[in-house]
Amino acid sequence: MTELQTTSVPPRGPSLLACLQCRHKHLKCDGKTPVCGRCDQAQSPCEYTKSRRGYKGPSKKRRANSPDTFIDPTVGLLDAPVDWGLQAGFNYAPSIPLPSSGSTSPGLHDMSPPMIPSVRPMSGPLTPDSLSTVGGDGYLLDIYYNYFHAAHPILPPHRLLNRYFFPAYLEQVMKFIGAHFTPAASSDTYRPTVVAMVQEQAVAVEKVQALLLLAIVLHSDNERAEAGVCLAAAVDSAFELGMHQGTFAVLASNGDPIRAESLRRTWWELFVIEGMLTALGVQREYRTNMVPLEVALPCEERIYHEGLAPPPSPTIAQFDGRVFAEEDRDFSSYCYRIESIRILGRVVAMQEMTEGQQDHVEAIDARIGSWGHHLPESKEELLRPDGSVDEIMFQATMILNGAAIYLNFPRSDLLSSPAVAAEVICGHHGPISVPAFSHNEHAMKASKAARELSRLAAFRLPVIKHTPFFICALTLSSIVQLASCSVKAGSMPDPSRDRLALTIGVFKSLARTWAISQSIMRQIKAVARDVMDLGLRPTMDSLDLTTVLDNSQFWVDQAPS
């Protein structure tokens, strides 16, 4: 220690050069080369980012005109500046008219952001005195990865995190999410400034990622309107960058396969989340589904988690053609998740049809039924031998059964009128849903899907690690099962009671993290009491998911005819 103090006099003020180890641990680095003082004392490897040696910080002019970079260009993922396409000599301008968000929701700039006196945008690499070390909250990044990343895996793998640094606004979003999962921090610390901080950034892939993550979490915090605004802005930014084009990830990755995979995943995650929020009535149009699906499909989770270079990425056309292909080909869990959301998108789009619904209902019903038959054996079991769950395949199954409920519940005899059922499923007004089969057959299929969702809830796993959209799926399951029980006034069979008890228990566990679960649990419990005690049936103003989330009474006695 004495020798270190006499041979290495620290400079006045923080060093602008820091080794990767000190950056990762959020410790001050004296910037000494080839080995800094901390690494020399700890006898640990000391590495510097080559392109940053001697870095003196950006000039004021460059700081004003240049957006953040995600990581250093020499080490991989998402390292290029915002104008990737221009630097590569490629024009990312859309080749077809893109769906506009002007008619769906207000833009972020239409909102009045709160003042941010204590938070400044990041203009260069993180330093020991940057925003990342304020309050010693760096541990929230690890919590983000441990509890949330597996459900929405678009950022770099955790094992590679020590090689990368994030723009401050994306890092704050990650910490905001991580704070939901620990009593040691409060998400309220980040909430007043995080949306405005992202809002003021220039268009970049990192901004798309930040807005997308915010849309997921704000919806789960029961701030559904603002979640819709963030999602619409994310879609706008993605279209502006050209992320929907098949060449974007290839050209913007600068030869880094991990970065290219992250870019593909960001687009497809946006595709999946917008599909779910459109079905839930948060968005009016499924805009990412209105452009040709050119982006190659993501790789298997294990490959991405290990930070390995993925194999050649398949296309949507190749995945769709697997049914008729001569030889079987392996596809990732993410591919099946994308297929499930495409099926759900078809169901939602069909609600606006005035003619020819029956053929479409039969076709989509066949697509749902064949989905499981074409699963490879490796995807049939959601639980792995080590007891972990394939979260992405879990979501694919969840979404598919949600689509089955959306398709069949409005056409069954479980509700007092088909018009009410359409209101439940879509969250907004739609045409009367005419049955394609018998009412009983639709009821049977809706009930089976509801039971399948309850089966997913029965996994003995930390439910908190599932996507928060599992709450919405269980809400649909509960509504179907309660409607089924209400047909037999005053009677709730033991299996139904047991499944509802499980679902309410999951709501209770998730309510500790997500505010939306608390609101839903309170309403579902009230409905269950009415069904068991009085056998009430829903009426014209019942069971709108938006009404459930707004804490309004939605299950009242039906007036006698």
pLDDT of res. 354: 64
Nearest C-alpha neighbor of 529 from the set 474, 494, 475, 482: 482
> Which of 46-55, 327-336, 413-422 shows the highest mean pLDDT?
327-336
Lookup result for tokens 């009128």 = 417
338-347 residue pLDDT tens = 999 999 999 9
When mean pLDDT is compared across 64-68, 152-156, 503-507, the lowest value belongs to 64-68
Q: Is the pLDDT of residue 11 over 60?
A: no
CA distances from 524 to 78, 230, 314 (A): 43, 28, 42
Q: Quick: pLDDT tens for 396-443.
A: 999 999 999 999 888 887 764 333 333 333 233 334 466 666 778 888
Residue 413 is predicted with a pLDDT of 76
Task: Quote the pLDDT of residue 99.
Answer: 78
CB 499 within 8 A of CB 484: no
Q: How confident is the model at residue 356, as a pLDDT?
A: 67
Rounded to an integer, the average pLDDT of 32-57 is 68
Q: Find out whether 449 and 473 touch, Cβ atoms under 8 Å.
A: no
Report the chain's mean pLDDT, rounded to a whole number.
Answer: 76
Quick one: average pLDDT of 237-259? 93
Does residue 108 sit in helix, strand or coil? helix
Is-contact 119 131, C-beta < 8 A?
yes
**Looking at per-residue confidence, does 158 or 73 come out higher?**
158
Instruction: Tell me which of 550 and 115 has the higher pLDDT.
Output: 550
What is the C-alpha to C-alpha distance for residues 233 and 105, in angstroms, rounded to an integer?
9
Q: What residue segments make up the domains of the chain, in order of their start? A: 2-52, 73-305, 316-549
Mean pLDDT of 134-150: 88
Does the pLDDT at position 527 exceed 50? yes
Asked whether 418 and 351 are in contact (CB, 8 A), the reply is no
**Quick one: how far is CA 436 from the chain centroid?**
33
Nearest to 559 by CA among 535, 528, 534, 537: 537
Of these ranges, 79-83, 197-201, 281-285, 455-459, the one predicted with the greatest mean pLDDT is 197-201
Quick one: DSSP state of residue 77?
T
The rounded Cα 110 to chain-centroid distance in angstroms is 24
Which range of 72-76, 206-210, 282-286, 471-475 scores highest in mean pLDDT? It is 206-210
- Percent of the chain scoring above 70 in pLDDT: 69
> Residues 549, 520: contact at Cβ < 8 Å?
yes
Residue 267, pLDDT > 50, answer yes
Give the model confidence (pLDDT) of 509-519 as tens digits.
Answer: 999 999 999 98
Of 170-179, 341-350, 517-526, 543-552, which range is least confident? 543-552
Residue 254: count other Cβ atoms within 10 Å of its Cβ. Answer: 16
DSSP string for residues in 69-86:
-SS-TTT-TT-S-TTHHH
Cα–Cα distance, 237 to 231 (Å, whole number)? 10
Name the more confident of 556 and 455: 455
Q: Which pLDDT does position 279 carry in this prediction? A: 92
Concatenating the DSSP letter of every residue in 229-250 gives HHHHHHHHHHHHHTTTSTTHHH
Cβ-proximal residues to 46 (8 Å cutoff; 6+ apart), any chain = 19, 21, 34, 35, 36, 39, 40
Residue 292 has pLDDT above 70, yes or no: yes
Q: What is the pTM of this model?
A: 0.74
Name the superfamily (CATH) of residues 2-52.
Zn(2)-C6 fungal-type DNA-binding domain (4.10.240.10)
Q: Which amino acid, 440?
A: N
% pLDDT > 90, the chain: 44
Is the pLDDT at 390 greater than 70, yes or no? Answer: yes
**pLDDT score, position 443:** 87
Between 88 and 321, where is the model more confident? 321
Structure tokens at 33: 């080369």
Q: How far apart are CA 410 and CA 278, in angstroms?
A: 17
Predicted local confidence at residue 239, as pLDDT: 98
pLDDT of residue 423: 36
**Mean pLDDT, residues 503-531:** 88
With a cut of 50, say whether residue 308 has pLDDT above it.
Answer: yes
